Structure 1
Amino acid sequence: MPPSCAQRRPEAPRDGDGPRRRPRGPRPRPRSRPPRRRRSRRPRRPPCRRLRRQARARLPSPRRSSRPAPRPAPFACLAAVRRAVWRQRDFALLWAGQTVSEIGSAVTTLALPTLAIFAFHAGPAAVGLMVAAERVPFPVVALFAGALVDRVRRRRVMIGSNVARLLILAAIPVLSAIGELRLWELFVAAAGMGVFTVFFDVSYMAYVPGLVGADRMLEANSRLQVTWSAALTIGPGLGGVLVQAVGAARAVLVDAFSFAVSTVALLSIRQSEPRPAEAAPPRRLLAEVGEGLRHVFGIPALRAQLLCLTAAGVFSHAYEAPLYIFAYDRLRISPGLLGAMLASLGVGAMMGSFVGSRVIETLGVGRTISLASGFASAVIGLVPLAMFVSPAAVMFPVLFLSGAVGVAGDIAQVTLRQSLTPTRLQGRMSSVFRTFFWGAWPLGNLLGGLLAAAIGAPATLWITALLGTLGCLAIRLTPLWRVRGFPASA
């Protein structure tokens, strides 16, 4: 026993220099030591096992804390990500150029059907076919465009597509000025625009994740939805004013100018794009297309998103052609007022894009896609109420609500599929979704035009709104409904 722990006898007081006195009282007994236990002779553990056991003993035990460790939030550090995205110069250039381009495209969306109605007296079926002509190339060439985009640098494809669309649109006012513009030429122009829009959109969706990084995709997609919202806000109103002021044929020059601005912005991006993989021989093009299809259909969340939203999109986009006929023939409103009404859809989408990430955090990814998209489709069924009250009192709030709520679903579904796809498959994944989503778009436009000619525009709006809502709510029966947050980038 160490000296510090042993029991010591008290010292006797001294008288001067004399001997010590013995203390009075009984003498304390020495503390008895417990008998030493004999250790059992066990085989000695190997050094590596003994070291591992000592290392585990030094680790902090989770039982020491009575409070459970907090779970990491799927949207942590969102404010820091927002600041990082806005500070990135190249993303700001891409965002600004695309905003101007989308505003110009929104002008053309209003100007072309208006030109067909007023200059060539096109009926509902012809207007529906014209609106569908720009979307027809998506189911035809999108899959092959995705495979080709993954072989080359995507920014170059975007620049070439912008230049081609600029030349197509510039030809319309030239032909109108010399008196040679025909209705079939508008169909050809719409289809040509659709072909190069396929290549631009597939490249664009594949280019953004590499530009901003995996941890910034949610905020980048939220900001890019502001682009689409600004286009819906400014484009239709600007288009209506331009159509009344200079005519529908000259109004498309704004869109041609916007493509020039987008091209300059893309050329100003400094970040070098990584070199794509070695180009495969032509006989492997179909194999690469099949790889993209297997990727999308092999993941349950992506498969459910693709099938449910495609079915809903057929009916959700069927309102567009009947809306023009309903506004011009039934309500007797001017192009300027219709443009202002459509602009309210963009105002709502712009407001919703700023809070979309918080809605996704609250509801979860799958529920946001289902409920937000379903609500945006359902409120369109209220548009025919404009026959009984003032059109402005109905269409302004209805279109505002549709844009404000639906944009959260758009942000969630785009970010989810980008998060689940590796970089080398981004182009093919986007082409698969563009093939199905935008392939359903012209089918819905054509269906809406034919139904409006058969049963009338108001009944068409009611029926298609109901069926589109049911398609979105079908996500409740799929694994996508249970997806709460975005996974780490593949």
Structure 2
Amino acid sequence: MPKTRSLWRHRDFLLLWSGQTTSSLGTEISYLALPLVAGLVLHASPMDLGLLTAARRLPVLFASLPAGALSDRWRKRRTMISTFVISGCAMGTIPAAAVTGSLTLWQLYAVALVVATCEVFFTPAYQTYPLILLGPDNLMEGNAKLTSTVTVAGMAGQPLGGVLIAVFGPAKAVLADALSYLAGALTLALIRAPEPRPERAGDRPRLRVEIAEGLRYVVRHRVIGPLVLYMATVSFCLAALAALEVNYMVRELGWSSLATGLVLGLSMAGGLAAGVIAKPLTDRYGMPRVLLGTAAAYPLSTAPIGMVGPGLAGQVVVAASGALMIVVTLVFQSTQRSLRQLLTPPEMQGRLAATSRWLTWAATPVGAVLAGVLAEGAGMRATLLLFSAGMLVGPVVMWFSPLRTSQREIERQLATATAG
């Protein structure tokens, strides 16, 4: 893909981008609504909330590795469409059950498992598709724009979720997420760009051999391995924080669902800058330095959640720290994804994405359940403070990685990959 072609005029990229934005909008609504369905409608305990978060993380642990190997065998766009349709149908059962009065925690767990499993198969296809669609020249810009989708969706999704919950209740608000998945599937179906035919399964090694190859590649890679270790330590703590934060704001700080949605939505405003600055930052400082800088800033963004009190002042602090988190997250994610893709051969891209995600998320169900257990005894505030402090481990991992010690060598490799 020539560098002179603007992505704003790239029809197929815009379809991919708009579809993912729509789906992410619905996901952000459910991020707020599902814990409140459990907590306010079904009167879930902190342990139940931890189990709900674990249900959304477990498929990553059990299905990511085969999903990555299969992604290298399947057409990426067809995989994404299928997972969107299944997820939309599954999410639609929640408002349907709410109307009939048959909604249970077990249904929430089941839907969370189904949707999370679909996401496991969607993710390696989605993460590797931009390289097919755009080529290496436009990859960083494309990844930055796609990553900024989270910002746009979060700014609109969580405040919209707060309004929908206030008007219709949390269970019925989930219908918006179901519809967003189906809209995303439609936009993907409209993409015209041909996709290279994957190598036939009969011409490839057995699935478990390919899974092992992907695992060895990531673990032994001197750059990608430490990067994934860092992401694993951060994800463990973030899963614990995510299991409690919404209900902590509503139950212990006394914020309304509308106020909580507005705070979380406003925090996403920081990401507007991230979508703009990610590529200029990497152009000026290089990917390794940008990754080191964002890793150092991450712990600052999670510390305030357990320190604030009720009222407007606490809401402002949480919104500001959340904005910092989104800036850091989006710049880091678009940069690390581009770095991994440029350093990895095409035939390993699906396994790279899935294996990295598996290693990153493997401990997150444990983090979510552990947060629930600790919150039962020590309270939500103390548990949030503990896992916020745990975020300090990540920058230490990055400091001793080749991203700091071998920056020039890595930058030469990236320049060669981009030129090629």
TM norm structure 2: 0.93
Contact between 1:81 and 1:219, CA under 8 Å: does it hold in 2?
no
Q: Give the match's secondary structure for 2:393.
A: helix
Q: Give the match's secondary structure for 1:155.
A: helix
**Partner residue of 2:57?**
135
**Partner residue of 1:357?**
279
**Partner residue of 1:289?**
211
Q: Distance in 1 between matches of 2:190 and 2:247?
A: 42
Match of 2:99 among 177, 186, 190: 177
Q: Distance in 2 between matches of 1:170 and 1:365?
A: 41
Quick check: 1:408 aligned with 2:331?
yes
Q: Distance in 2 between matches of 1:139 and 1:166?
A: 22
Q: Distance in 1 between matches of 2:314 and 2:301?
A: 15
Query: Using a 3 Å threshold, how does the CA distance of structure 1 residues 449 and 151 change in structure 2: closer, same or farther?
Result: same
Contact between 1:371 and 1:472, CA under 8 Å: does it hold in 2?
no
Q: Distance in 2 between matches of 1:375 and 1:441?
A: 21
Quick check: 1:421 aligned with 2:344?
yes
**Partner residue of 1:273?**
195
**Partner residue of 2:16?**
94
**Partner residue of 1:396?**
319
**Which deviations, in whole Å up to 9, do the C-alpha atoms of 1:101-123 show, x marking residues without a partner?**
00001111111110011111111
**Partner residue of 2:125?**
203
Quick check: 1:438 aligned with 2:361?
yes
**Partner residue of 1:385?**
307
Quick check: 1:217 aligned with 2:217?
no
The offset of 1:388, in angstroms, is 7.3
Which consecutive segments of 4 or more residues in structure 1 shift more than 4 A?
A: 80-83
The offset of 1:226, in angstroms, is 1.4
**Which deviations, in whole Å up to 9, do the C-alpha atoms of 1:63-96 show, x marking residues without a partner?**
xxxxxxxxxxxxxxxxx94853222111111001
**Which deviations, in whole Å up to 9, do the C-alpha atoms of 1:122-147 show, x marking residues without a partner?**
11111121122112101101100111
Q: Which moved more, 1:471-480 or 1:433-442?
A: 433-442
**Partner residue of 1:124?**
46
Query: How many pairs are equivalent?
Result: 411
**Which deviations, in whole Å up to 9, do the C-alpha atoms of 1:433-469 show, x marking residues without a partner?**
1112233333322222222222222222222122212
Q: Which has the higher contact order (CA 8 A, sep 6+)?
A: 2
Q: Which moved more, 1:252-261 or 1:473-482?
A: 473-482
Q: Distance in 1 between matches of 2:295 and 2:153?
A: 19
Match of 2:244 among 322, 331, 354: 322
Q: Distance in 2 between matches of 1:350 and 1:183?
A: 36
Q: Distance in 1 between matches of 2:407 and 2:337?
A: 14
Q: Distance in 1 between matches of 2:203 and 2:368?
A: 38
Contact between 2:124 and 2:350, CA under 8 Å: does it hold in 1?
yes
The offset of 1:325, in angstroms, is 3.2
Provide structure 2 residue ranges, at least 5 long, that are not aligned to the other structure.
Answer: none
Query: Using a 3 Å threshold, how does the CA distance of structure 1 residues 230 and 163 change in structure 2: closer, same or farther?
Result: same
Q: Which moved more, 1:387-396 or 1:454-463?
A: 387-396
Q: Distance in 2 between matches of 1:165 and 1:179?
A: 22
**Which deviations, in whole Å up to 9, do the C-alpha atoms of 1:225-254 show, x marking residues without a partner?**
111111221111111110111111111111
Contact between 2:72 and 2:348, CA under 8 Å: does it hold in 1?
yes
Normalized per residue, the structure richer in helix is: 2
Quick check: 1:254 aligned with 2:254?
no
Q: Distance in 2 between matches of 1:245 and 1:306?
A: 42
Amino acid at match of 2:320: P
The offset of 1:282, in angstroms, is 9.4
Amino acid at match of 1:243: I
The offset of 1:355, in angstroms, is 0.6
Match of 1:449 among 338, 362, 372: 372
**Partner residue of 1:230?**
152
Quick check: 1:483 aligned with 2:407?
yes
Contact between 1:371 and 1:473, CA under 8 Å: does it hold in 2?
no
Amino acid at match of 1:171: T
Contact between 2:294 and 2:332, CA under 8 Å: does it hold in 1?
yes
**Partner residue of 1:373?**
295
Amino acid at match of 1:483: Q
Query: Using a 3 Å threshold, how does the CA distance of structure 1 residues 83 and 452 change in structure 2: closer, same or farther?
Result: farther
Identity %: 32
**Which deviations, in whole Å up to 9, do the C-alpha atoms of 1:393-421 show, x marking residues without a partner?**
32121111221233211111111111111
Amino acid at match of 1:413: Q
